[in-house]
Amino acid sequence: MSQQANKNLVARYYDEMWNNWNFALVDKLLAKEISFRGSLGTETHGRTAFCNYMRRVQSAFPDFRNEIEDMIAERNRVFTRLTYTGTHRGEIFGVAPTERKVSYAGAALYRIENGQVAHGWVLGDLTGLLAQLGARVLP
């Protein structure tokens, strides 16, 4: 795939799959054995575990949004700088729902293989997120 095609794939991953909770796209956009580390610090392997991670985020922040701020592609890698937003409506990290609107920064690096995301490593500002939820320490 071209670098532009890889960028388009990652943009679709965020815009169509994550921002719309479109689990039907998982088989199309993600490699069967995807290795993923999410912005909440959770590591997953395989599509089923990835979907479980998405559901965890969805249950805590039903209106969760990923806003791509920057995207750079080189060979089969795509880097994104993001802003995550949502309303805290479900338990996360042991913190009961607060109904607070949150916004935190993140960065992600993806490896593309055969037109699908095969590996994702995401680093989110958990300290900033937890502070917004009123939590003092990581669990």
Closest CA to 84 of 57, 59, 120: 57
**Which segments of the chain have a pLDDT < 70?**
137-139
What's residue 138's pLDDT? 53
Going from N- to C-terminal start, the domains of the chain cover 3-133
- Give Cβ neighbours of residue 59 (< 8 Å, ≥ 6 apart): 90, 91
- Closest C-alpha to 15, from 25, 28, 5: 25
Task: Select the CATH number that applies to the domain covering 3-133 from these four: 3.40.50.300, 3.10.450.50, 3.40.1390.30, 3.40.50.2000.
Answer: 3.10.450.50
Sheet of 116-124: strand order equals 43-45, 30-37, 116-124, 101-113, 77-87, 65-74
- What integer pLDDT is reported at residue 137 of this predicted model? 61
pTM value? 0.93
